[in-house]
Amino acid sequence: MRAVLRSVLGILLAFVVASAIMMVVESINGKLLYPELGKAAAGTTDREAVRQLMATAPAGALLVVLGGWAIGTLAGGLIAARIAPRAPAGHAIVFGGIVALAGIANNLMLPPPAWFWVAGLVVPLAAGWLVARWVQPRT
């Protein structure tokens, strides 16, 4: 029972930390790197306006978002692996899959360009795999 609780706690804490990292990166993206995008998005609740904003967003802004997803997934995967030591590599890979699923949900709400769909799947899965390689015990 203790192992299950550590698994659940590890994944939940990983998700909280990864989400915080992603929010910080996206905030920096909208305030410092692409302030015109941040101003246009501020307070926007109209779904069609958000879609138009995503369609016209510079590739650099979307790459920064992917970078935040990568950093968040790496950090979260390490946390999940550390808290759930019985199967650290498995927890890292599962966490990468969870972030990829969250990315799909995000993309369904705010449709990005096609290349971002692919990258949004590959980046978190690759980051989870990378963490799994780091934490895998050497034999």
| pLDDT one-digit tens code per residue, 69-104 | 999 999 999 999 999 878 999 999 999 999 999 999
Candidates 8, 7, 17; CA nearest to 87 is: 7
Residues 6+ apart with CB under 8 A from 111: 51, 54
pLDDT at 110 over 90: no
- What pLDDT was estimated at residue 139? 59
Do 68 and 26 form a contact (C-beta atoms < 8 A)? Answer: yes
**Residue 126, exposed/middle/buried by CB under 10 A (0-12, 13-18, 19+)?**
middle
d(Cα 135, Cα 139) in Å, to the nearest integer? 12
| pLDDT one-digit tens code per residue, 34-77 | 777 777 666 667 777 777 777 788 889 999 999 999 999 999 99
d(Cα 76, Cα 100) in Å, to the nearest integer? 13
